[in-house]
Amino acid sequence: MKTVEIKPNIYWVGAIDWAVRDFHGYVTPNGTTYNNYLIMDDEVTLVDTVKYDFKRVTIENIKSICDPSKIKNVVINHIEPDHASGLAKIMSIAPDATIYITSKGKKGLDRHFDTSNWNFKIVKTGDTLKTGKYTLTFLETPMLHWPDSMMTYVNEAKLLFSQDAFGQHLATSSRFDDDFIECASQFELDHAVVDYYANILMPFGQLIKRKIDEVQKLGLEIDMIAPDHGLIWRKEPDKILQTYIDLADGKADLSVAIIYDTMWHSTELMTLPLVQGIKDEGIDCKVIKLRATPMSVAITQFWKSRGCLIGSPTLNNILYPSVAEYLTHLRGLRPKNRIMGAFGSYGWGGGAVRDAYEEFKRMKLEVVEPGIQVNYKPSQEDEDTCYEFAREFARKVKEYHSTFE
Ligand code: FEO
């Protein structure tokens, strides 16, 4: 796709990856983009590079604007390979360019490339680079979401290059939020934002809030936010900032996700009265079978819902493997502000429900105990118990949800 001028003399020169469906284990049914930006000023400056596979796309894009050997500065906001693996190619074309990067970023690049002949300028929060008409101010954002991460603010353009933050995995011919909403829908965009946040940024909510607060205290006026994935926020950049604050504060729908797996359908049968009980308390409910659903989809549904019931059969006295894997993955994302319960069938000695609650407590999530275990297949009496437990769980979800309003 052709380059797009996003501000006077500042161009999107990135690549659209329509085909990627597995982004290091995170499913991307809508593909993604690797955004990078070229500032055509007295000193030509490239902000972020591109995934190695797409280096030709970015180089051709740059060539359509200027001779790439004229690049004087390369800002590396983040070294993860989806943005920086194309750097060696850029440096082979512009060998005299200076790389502006955090000290942790430099250490990371040293592990990935032979950097011995590259020029570096290590930057910290508040450091600036004058490219001519424009002034770039760097803002370190460690652990947002890697130790090396930073953002770059273009003072005169009121433009924030935010690297991964505020991104979305959306391959689209639209470059801006308002274009996309017109061509597709607000719903798709909102979903993409939450999906991205849940799977990548969930552990860093408090850090995000502090960083947004820092930006606001610096008095930086933001007219546009240009992330490294997906759409550029030009219509309402304040709105995406507020969305991130809300997500960090634990915003969720008043709904329940039932996430389960099953061996011989007994645990699955338990989901039916559970759904009915939740619905009869007036709460929406979605059901996800783990072996039929990509992990990242189940993570997003968990994050969208205030309450979650985890269902697992007992296998060899512990959790069923897919459920154990899911809960381990979830624990790494450090979820907050959610309320949990567990259910499952067992044959001769239980264990799965007990283990699920142990995991919830390790994650410091609210729980409704003791959950439900049924022997082999649920009887009518077990189904009635599931139904009553679901109603009680739904009432607790409503009560807990009200503390966030
Ligand atoms: Fe899009 Fe952390 O890389």
pLDDT of 218 = 84
3-state secondary structure of 307: strand
Q: Are the C-beta atoms of 256 and 393 separated by less than 8 Å?
A: yes
| Ligand 1 within 6 A of CB of 355 | no
User: Using CA positions, which residue lies closest to atom 1 of ligand 1?
Assistant: 164
| Ligand 1 within 6 A of CB of 80 | yes
> Residue 346: what are its φ and ψ, rounded to 5°?
-145, 160
> Residue 214: what are its φ and ψ, rounded to 5°?
-60, -45
pLDDT of 238 = 92
Q: Are the C-beta atoms of 48 and 83 separated by less than 8 Å?
A: yes
CA 164 to ligand 1 centroid distance, Å: 5
Q: Give how far Cα 203 sits from Cα of 90, 247, 306, Å.
A: 33, 11, 17
Catalytic residue list: 24, 78, 80, 82, 145, 164, 196, 229
Task: Name the DSSP letter for residue 199.
Answer: I
| Ligand 1 within 6 A of CB of 83 | yes
pLDDT of 236 = 87
Residue 110: CB atoms within 10 Å: 13
405 — pLDDT class (breaks 50, 70, 90): confident
Write down the mean pLDDT value for the chain: 96
Task: Note the pLDDT tens digit of each residue in 118-172.
Answer: 999 999 999 999 999 999 999 999 999 999 999 999 999 999 999 999 999 999 9
| Ligand 1 within 6 A of CB of 228 | yes
Dmax (CA) of the chain: 78
> CB under 8 Å to 314, separation ≥6 — which residues?
320, 344, 345, 346, 347, 349, 350, 351, 352, 353, 373
CA 31 to ligand 1 centroid distance, Å: 14
Q: Are the C-beta atoms of 124 and 83 separated by less than 8 Å?
A: no
User: Using CA positions, which residue lies closest to atom 2 of ligand 1?
Assistant: 80
Task: Note the pLDDT tens digit of each residue in 79-99.
Answer: 999 999 999 999 999 999 999
| Ligand 1 within 6 A of CB of 51 | no
Q: Are the C-beta atoms of 55 and 69 separated by less than 8 Å?
A: no
Residue type, 163: Q
> CB under 8 Å to 301, separation ≥6 — which residues?
257, 259, 286, 288
* Helix 380-402 with 266-280: angle, nearest 10 deg: 50
Res. 31: pLDDT tops 90: yes
Measure the CA–CA gap between 94 and 91, rounded to whole angstroms.
5
User: Using CA positions, which residue lies closest to atom 3 of ligand 1?
Assistant: 80
CA 244 to ligand 1 centroid distance, Å: 17
Residue type, 31: G
Detail the DSSP E strand segments found in 104-223.
119-122, 128-130, 135-140, 150-154, 159-163
Query: Of all residues in the chain, what percent carry a pLDDT higher than 70?
Result: 100
Measure the CA–CA gap between 383 and 270, rounded to whole angstroms.
7
| Ligand 1 within 6 A of CB of 140 | no
Q: Which atom of ligand 1 is nearest to the CA of 149?
A: 2
Residue 289: CB atoms within 10 Å: 17
* Helix 237-248 with 205-217: angle, nearest 10 deg: 140
Task: Note the pLDDT tens digit of each residue in 236-277.
Answer: 899 999 999 999 998 999 999 999 999 999 999 999 999 999
3-state secondary structure of 234: coil
Q: Which atom of ligand 1 is nearest to the CA of 146?
A: 2
CA 127 to ligand 1 centroid distance, Å: 23
Measure the CA–CA gap between 148 and 144, rounded to whole angstroms.
8
Task: Note the pLDDT tens digit of each residue in 162-208.
Answer: 999 999 999 999 999 999 999 999 999 999 999 999 999 999 999 99
Q: Are the C-beta atoms of 208 and 144 separated by less than 8 Å?
A: yes
| Ligand 1 within 6 A of CB of 268 | no
| Ligand 1 within 6 A of CB of 169 | no
Task: Name the DSSP letter for residue 393.
Answer: H
